[in-house]
Amino acid sequence: MDRHVLITGGAGFIGSHLVDRLLAEGGWRITVLDNFDPFYPRAVKERNLAGALGHPQLRVVEADLLTPDLETLLGDDRIDLIVHIAAKAGVRPSIADPIGYHRVNVTGTLTLLEMARRRKVPHFILASSSSVYGENPNVPWKESEHGLVPISPYAATKLAAEQFARVHSDLHGMQVTVLRFFTVYGPRQRPDLAIHQFFRKVAAGDTILQFGDGTTQRDYTYVDDIVAGVRAAMDRERGGRYEVYNLGNSGTVMLRELIAAIEREVGRKAVVEVRPEQPGDVPRTFADVSKAGRDLGFHPSTPLAEGLARFHAWFLHEAVTAR
């Protein structure tokens, strides 16, 4: 019998790739829950799902996590697994709207956990973020780090969501898997994120903004590797009832190195305007993925240059399609 998975945020960047993976694999009934938040254009999310819409194994429910009649909208079908990706994203916007971020990322997650408890969903997967590590100097970051100190409202909400998930696992016997994503990029990446912005602006000859001196470092992780990690987590048998895993590329790239790599890929020099570092941004992210490798068989395999080339091909195709 096909397993039924609820994917929140399933019309977004990572969620839509997971939908495609599961439909291609077969053996799944998929319910996507997405509110098509206007943080970026609705048409972008509609294109993300364009290849999947109409598939007999896919149902899309347009609703907010806090919609009062959410369970009625979802129907009575047994849910075998929840992959909770939906969130208000972005470090800098969270500084301007901490209450809105708390509402969606914390209260929304708690509401979904409560629904999972009532409906006896066996496994709950929570998409978290590398931002929960804050400015921790102990790199590469391990999941066993204690005393995490987030430095943005967004990061604080993701850590709070993790804690509510842990409490629900302890109190109610629910299997919970937390996945901390590290700077995911690739086709369908949100248009506000750095790699997408840089490609668009370098190609057009527009100025890109570099915050800081270019030495900040990120662990850039290609979306197919992330989806492979999520898919492995969906079948997790190792570890305890509640486990946290880093999903990253397990390497760091300086911002100025990223810009240079994009210049090489586009074949054009970037026009760079240097601005002061932004509040809430951490100086470095760096994942230790040995635990995910041991328990999930997670082994990221996409080098940055290859991932940027794939993104560029998608970007060019999108530009032609949009004409």
Q: How far is CA 306 from CA 28, 222, 279, in A?
A: 30, 9, 31
Find all residues with CB under 8 Å of 226, minimum gap 6, and list them.
14, 17, 181, 184, 247
Tell me whether residue 245 is one of the annotated catalytic residues. no
Cα–Cα separations (whole angstroms), residue 283 to 62, 100, 214, 259, 312: 37, 25, 10, 16, 26
User: Residue 220 has which token pair?
Assistant: 């850039």
- Structure token digits, residue 146: 């204690």
- Given 101, 133, 154, 220, the catalytic residue: 154
Q: What are phi and psi of 60, to 5 degrees?
A: -115, 125
Token readout for 317 is 């195709």
Give the pair of three-digit tokens for residue 320.
């032609």
- Cβ-based neighbour number of residue 218 at 10 Å: 25
Report, as residue numbers or ranges, the catalytic residues.
154
